[in-house]
Amino acid sequence: MPEDLLSPGAAAVFEPQSVSEWLRLLPFLGVLALLGYLAVRPFFPKKKQQKDSLINLKIQKENPKVVNEINIEDLCLTKAAYCRCWRSKTFPACDGSHNKHNELTGDNVGPLILKKKEV
Protein backbone atom coordinates (compact mmCIF):
# COMPACT_ATOMS: atom_id res chain seq x y z
CA MET A 1 0.00 0.00 0.00
CA PRO A 2 2.71 2.63 0.83
CA GLU A 3 4.32 1.88 -2.53
CA ASP A 4 1.07 2.94 -4.25
CA LEU A 5 1.20 6.37 -2.61
CA LEU A 6 4.75 6.92 -3.77
CA SER A 7 4.11 5.94 -7.37
CA PRO A 8 4.18 8.72 -10.01
CA GLY A 9 0.44 8.39 -10.73
CA ALA A 10 -0.58 8.77 -7.06
CA ALA A 11 -0.68 12.59 -7.23
CA ALA A 12 -3.22 12.38 -10.05
CA VAL A 13 -5.79 11.17 -7.52
CA PHE A 14 -5.83 14.67 -5.97
CA GLU A 15 -5.79 16.65 -9.25
CA PRO A 16 -9.13 17.96 -10.46
CA GLN A 17 -9.74 16.80 -14.02
CA SER A 18 -12.66 18.92 -15.21
CA VAL A 19 -13.95 22.45 -14.87
CA SER A 20 -16.80 21.30 -12.65
CA GLU A 21 -14.31 19.69 -10.24
CA TRP A 22 -12.37 22.96 -10.09
CA LEU A 23 -15.60 24.86 -9.43
CA ARG A 24 -16.43 22.52 -6.56
CA LEU A 25 -12.97 23.17 -5.09
CA LEU A 26 -13.28 26.99 -5.25
CA PRO A 27 -15.19 27.47 -1.95
CA PHE A 28 -12.70 25.22 -0.14
CA LEU A 29 -9.72 27.06 -1.63
CA GLY A 30 -11.35 30.40 -0.78
CA VAL A 31 -11.79 29.37 2.85
CA LEU A 32 -8.16 28.22 2.97
CA ALA A 33 -6.97 31.54 1.53
CA LEU A 34 -9.09 33.50 4.03
CA LEU A 35 -7.78 31.46 6.97
CA GLY A 36 -4.21 31.94 5.75
CA TYR A 37 -4.72 35.69 5.47
CA LEU A 38 -6.30 35.91 8.92
CA ALA A 39 -3.43 33.88 10.37
CA VAL A 40 -0.68 36.17 9.02
CA ARG A 41 -2.47 39.55 9.24
CA PRO A 42 -1.45 40.23 12.88
CA PHE A 43 2.21 40.07 11.83
CA PHE A 44 1.90 42.85 9.23
CA PRO A 45 2.60 46.39 10.49
CA LYS A 46 -0.50 48.49 11.00
CA LYS A 47 -0.91 51.58 8.85
CA LYS A 48 -0.29 54.72 10.83
CA GLN A 49 -1.46 58.17 9.89
CA GLN A 50 1.53 59.95 8.46
CA LYS A 51 2.22 63.49 9.58
CA ASP A 52 2.36 64.74 6.00
CA SER A 53 -1.16 63.41 5.42
CA LEU A 54 -2.46 65.90 7.99
CA ILE A 55 -3.77 69.12 6.52
CA ASN A 56 -3.68 71.35 9.59
CA LEU A 57 -0.17 71.10 11.00
CA LYS A 58 -0.18 73.84 13.65
CA ILE A 59 -3.27 76.07 13.81
CA GLN A 60 -5.36 75.75 17.01
CA LYS A 61 -4.30 72.13 17.58
CA GLU A 62 -5.63 72.28 21.15
CA ASN A 63 -9.20 72.48 19.79
CA PRO A 64 -11.03 69.38 18.54
CA LYS A 65 -12.37 71.38 15.57
CA VAL A 66 -11.22 74.72 14.18
CA VAL A 67 -14.13 77.04 13.42
CA ASN A 68 -13.83 80.71 12.50
CA GLU A 69 -16.90 82.87 12.15
CA ILE A 70 -16.80 86.18 10.30
CA ASN A 71 -19.88 88.32 9.78
CA ILE A 72 -20.29 89.47 6.21
CA GLU A 73 -21.47 92.86 7.46
CA ASP A 74 -18.07 93.30 9.14
CA LEU A 75 -16.15 93.14 5.85
CA CYS A 76 -14.69 96.60 5.56
CA LEU A 77 -12.83 95.93 2.32
CA THR A 78 -14.52 95.27 -1.00
CA LYS A 79 -12.70 91.94 -1.17
CA ALA A 80 -11.34 89.55 1.50
CA ALA A 81 -9.36 86.33 1.02
CA TYR A 82 -9.51 83.48 3.54
CA CYS A 83 -7.04 80.62 3.81
CA ARG A 84 -8.02 77.09 2.76
CA CYS A 85 -4.55 75.51 2.77
CA TRP A 86 -3.95 75.87 6.55
CA ARG A 87 -0.44 77.23 5.92
CA SER A 88 -1.21 80.95 6.38
CA LYS A 89 0.68 82.77 9.13
CA THR A 90 -2.30 85.16 9.40
CA PHE A 91 -4.97 82.42 9.57
CA PRO A 92 -7.90 82.67 8.86
CA ALA A 93 -6.84 85.42 6.46
CA CYS A 94 -4.86 84.28 3.43
CA ASP A 95 -1.26 85.43 3.14
CA GLY A 96 -0.45 83.59 -0.10
CA SER A 97 1.21 80.59 1.60
CA HIS A 98 -0.79 78.29 -0.67
CA ASN A 99 1.49 79.28 -3.57
CA LYS A 100 4.53 77.67 -1.92
CA HIS A 101 2.42 74.71 -0.75
CA ASN A 102 1.13 74.14 -4.30
CA GLU A 103 4.64 74.38 -5.73
CA LEU A 104 6.04 71.84 -3.24
CA THR A 105 3.18 69.33 -3.37
CA GLY A 106 1.61 69.75 -6.80
CA ASP A 107 -1.66 70.63 -5.06
CA ASN A 108 -4.01 73.29 -6.42
CA VAL A 109 -5.56 74.94 -3.35
CA GLY A 110 -6.35 78.61 -3.29
CA PRO A 111 -8.09 81.08 -1.00
CA LEU A 112 -11.78 81.59 -0.43
CA ILE A 113 -12.47 85.07 -1.76
CA LEU A 114 -15.44 87.07 -0.51
CA LYS A 115 -16.42 90.18 -2.48
CA LYS A 116 -18.97 92.83 -1.71
CA LYS A 117 -21.49 93.27 -4.44
CA GLU A 118 -21.23 96.55 -6.31
CA VAL A 119 -24.41 98.54 -5.70
Catalytic residue among 46, 47, 65, 79: 65
Neighbours of 98 (CB within 10 A): 21
CA dihedral sign, ordered 51, 54, 58, 64: negative
First-residue to last-residue Cα distance in the chain: 102
Contact (Cβ atoms closer than 8 angstroms) between residue 60 and residue 92: no
CA dihedral sign, ordered 101, 102, 103, 104: positive
Q: Is 61 a catalytic residue?
A: no
Q: Which residues are catalytic?
A: 65
